[in-house]
């Protein structure tokens, strides 16, 4: 029998897709390390019943990343798969969303992923094998109103992944870009909670549609997180994993929009998110 794959997943608090990635890999006889920031470690406690080990890991800290990877390597001698899942949403009009809020999201969603890559690549290069799965989004291809910062952070992940896929090929490292569509998780709830911190000025009359955008990916038709995670894990563990994994509700719509003229996109999103009206101050 082959040795089990050693998998590290970031952003694994209960209720999120990372939590479901861990369970799906464990179902496939992998040795799984679930990680998140210290305040969320307790949210992963019931993963232990599946043989999954919890680690404290803050993707914004070099020291924390180093410590977590040292633990994995000391216990297992290698790391086969990194799931770069940690991330936060960001909803609000870009003309008013505080730069500190945008900076925090980018530190996690973009530099956090790159930090993980830079720390894990030396280990994978030495063993001349490994897979890095960067989690992007369909909105990284087609940006939507009221979430421009989040969309841009995911577009960065896409561009980074396409470069890394070529740059890491000589070392036998696969880079896979996961593109969730509308997938049920705690992201929408967290987005709504953060909106309570803001009082819009220019956009005060758009409060309802901004809130609608915050929960747009969590509707009744959203793909179950367990279904999405199992689909991704099956693809990642395949002998020849794909370069991209796009899956989930609304994936087809965003594929269509990505190839549509900009006026079609603008018309669609203007109607969908209340931007087909004039505002007079």
Question: Whole-angstrom Cα distance, residue 211 to residue 93?
Answer: 11
Question: Whole-angstrom Cα distance, residue 190 to residue 202?
Answer: 24
Question: Whole-angstrom Cα distance, residue 155 to residue 165?
Answer: 15
- Dihedral angle computed from the Cα positions of residues 40, 41, 42 and 48, in that order, rounded to the nearest 10 degrees: 140
123 close to 138: Cβ distance less than 8 angstroms: no
32: β partners: 7
Active site residues: 150
In sequence order, what DSSP letters do the residues of 196-225 get, joined into one string? TT---STTGGGHHHHHHHHTGGGSTTSBPH
Strand ranges for the chain from DSSP E = 6-9, 31-36, 53-56, 81-84, 130-135, 173-180, 244-247
Strand 244-247 relative to strand 173-180, pairing? parallel
């Amino acid at each position: 029998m082959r040795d089990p794959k050693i998998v590290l997943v970031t952003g694994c608090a209960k209720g999120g897709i990372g939590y479901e990635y861990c369970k799906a890999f464990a179902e496939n006889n992998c040795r799984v390390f679930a990680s998140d920031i210290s305040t969320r470690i307790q949210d992963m406690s019931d993963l232990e019943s599946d043989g999954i080990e919890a680690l404290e890991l803050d993707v914004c800290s070099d020291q924390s990343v180093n410590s977590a990877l040292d633990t994995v390597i000391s216990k297992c001698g290698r790391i086969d798969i990194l799931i770069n899942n940690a991330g936060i949403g960001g909803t609000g009009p870009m003309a008013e969303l505080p730069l500190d809020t945008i900076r925090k999201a980018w530190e996690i969603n973009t530099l956090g992923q790159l930090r993980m890559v830079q720390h894990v690549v030396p280990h994978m290069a030495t063993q001349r094998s490994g897979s890095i799965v960067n989690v992007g989004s369909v909105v990284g291809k087609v940006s939507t109103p009221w979430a421009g910062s989040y969309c841009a952070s995911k577009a960065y992940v896409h561009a980074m992944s396409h470069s890394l896929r070529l740059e890491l090929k000589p070392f036998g490292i696969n880079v896979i870009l996961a593109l969730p569509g509308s997938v049920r998780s705690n992201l929408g709830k967290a987005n709504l909670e953060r909106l309570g911190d803001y009082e819009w000025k220019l956009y005060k009359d758009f409060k309802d549609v901004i809130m609608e955008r915050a929960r747009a990916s969590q509707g009744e038709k959203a793909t179950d997180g367990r279904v999405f995670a199992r689909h991704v894990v099956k693809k990642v563990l395949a002998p020849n994993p794909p370069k991209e994994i796009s899956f989930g509700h609304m994936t087809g719509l965003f594929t269509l929009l990505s190839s549509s003229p900009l006026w079609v996109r603008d018309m669609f999103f203007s109607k969908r998110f209340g931007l087909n009206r004039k505002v007079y101050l």
